[in-house]
Amino acid sequence: MKRIVRQLGSLLIATALVAGCSSGDDQTQQQGWVEEEVSFTDSAGLTLHGTYRHQGEDAGPAALLISESGQTDRNGDNAVAGPVGNMRQLAEYLSEKGIASLRYDKVGTGKTGLGPHAQNPAAVGSAAYSAGARAAVRYLAARPGTDDSRISVYALGEGTIHAMTLADDLEPDAPRIHSLGLFQPLPGRYLDIITARVKVDVEAAVEAGAKTPEQGQTVLDAWAAAVEEARTRGTAPRQLPDGLGAILNPGNVNAVVEADAIDPLALAAKVPTGTPVLLTCSDSDGQANCASVRPLTAALKHTALTVLDLKGVNHVLRDDPTDNVANYAKPGPLSAQLTAALDTFVTK
C-alpha cells in the first residue's frame, strides 16, 4: 500500500501545502523570446507569480499552462518528484510554434506561497486553484501580445479540471477559450479514483501472498467507511491502515471533500460545442490509462475532440513505460508522440 501512497502523491491535493521548488527562469531561450517574471491577483487577494514567455507585443495566439495538483510549480517541478520541468518544456515547444504562454506558481507553491491562506492552509482546495486559473487567464488575455480569439489552455492531471472550468466560465469578463489540451486528465471523482487504485493494490497484495484475503478485506472496508464518512459528514478517521491516512485525514478532509464534489464528466459536458480538444491517455499511466478516461471522452463527444493514446509514456509526458515517480525528474524531452500530435493541434 505504500506504493499507492507514493504514486498518488503527484496526483492528489497535498495533505499539507508548503512552498514547492522552482527550477528558475535561467533556461536558454530561443532567439527573440523573453521569459518575463509577472504577477497578478486572484479574487481572494492572493498574488500569484508566473512566467510570461513572449516575443514582442504584436498580437498572436497565447496559451495558459496549468500544472499538476499539489506541490507542483509553474515549471512542473514537484516538491515530491523533484525538478520535472515538463511545463517549462511545453512553453518552449509552444514558442517554436509562435505561441506565447503563461505558466504560474499555484497557491502553496514557488514564489506564490499561501498568502492570505496561511492562517488556514488545510482549507485550501479546488476553489482556490480554480480562482488562480481564472485570474491567470484574465491576465493573459489582457496582455497586448495576446490575440483574445486564440487563447488556449493546456493542463496536466488535476489541472485539467480547472482548464475545463475556464472553458465554461460565463462571467462577463471571462475570455473565450479557443482550444483545450487535457493531458492525462483526472477521469472521475477524486475519491472514486483513489478507491479504484486501493482495490487494485489490495488485490495484488493478496495474490502475492503479502496479505490474507481477510486482511485485504479489512483494508477495503476501512477505506470504504472513511470515504462514506468524508462524503456524508465531512470528517475523516484519525487512523487508516497501510498508510492510507496520508491520503485522507482530519487535516486535509475539507480539501479532499471539495475536490471530490467536482465531477469531471459534468464539466466536460459543458465545454462549448465544437471547441478543439486534445485529450491524452497512456497505457503506462496508472493515473490516466486509456480505459479509465473513456467516460470522459464520451462526455466530450460534442467537441472537436482528438484522443491521443500514448504508448509507454509516463504521467509527466515523457517516454518511460515504468511510470515510476522516482523517474519523473530524470532529464528528457517531452514524448515525441505528444509533440507530433501537438504539431497538428496547435494549428486548429
What's the rounded Cα separation, in Å, for the pair 309 and 234? Answer: 37
CA 156, CA 291: separation in Å to the nearest integer? 18
Indicate whether 92 pLDDT > 80. yes
Per-domain residue ranges of the chain: 2-14+36-189+262-345, 190-258
> How high is the mean pLDDT of the chain?
89
pLDDT for 27: 42
Q: How confident is the model at residue 32 (pLDDT cuts 50, 70, 90)?
A: confident
Q: Which of 10-19, 128-137, 224-233, 287-296 has the lowest mean pLDDT?
A: 10-19
Report pLDDT for 37. Answer: 98
Q: Which one-letter amino acid corresponds to residue 325? A: V
| Alpha carbon distance 143, 333 (integer Å) | 29
Could you tell me what percentage of the chain is helix, strand and coil, using 3-state DSSP and rounding each to the nearest 5? 35, 20, 45
286: helix, strand or coil: coil
CATH architecture of 2-14+36-189+262-345: 3-Layer(aba) Sandwich (3.40)
Q: Is the pLDDT of residue 300 over 90?
A: yes
Is the separation of the CB atoms in 2 and 242 below 8 Å? yes
Supply the pLDDT for residue 306.
98
Q: In the prediction, which pLDDT does 254 show?
A: 85
Top-confidence residue, 240 or 124? 240
pLDDT band at 30 (very low <50, low <70, confident <90, very high): low
> Do 106 and 67 form a contact (C-beta atoms < 8 A)?
yes
Residue pLDDT, tens place only, 38-87: 999 999 999 999 999 999 888 999 999 999 987 899 999 988 889 999 99
pLDDT at position 57 is 80
This prediction's pTM: 0.85
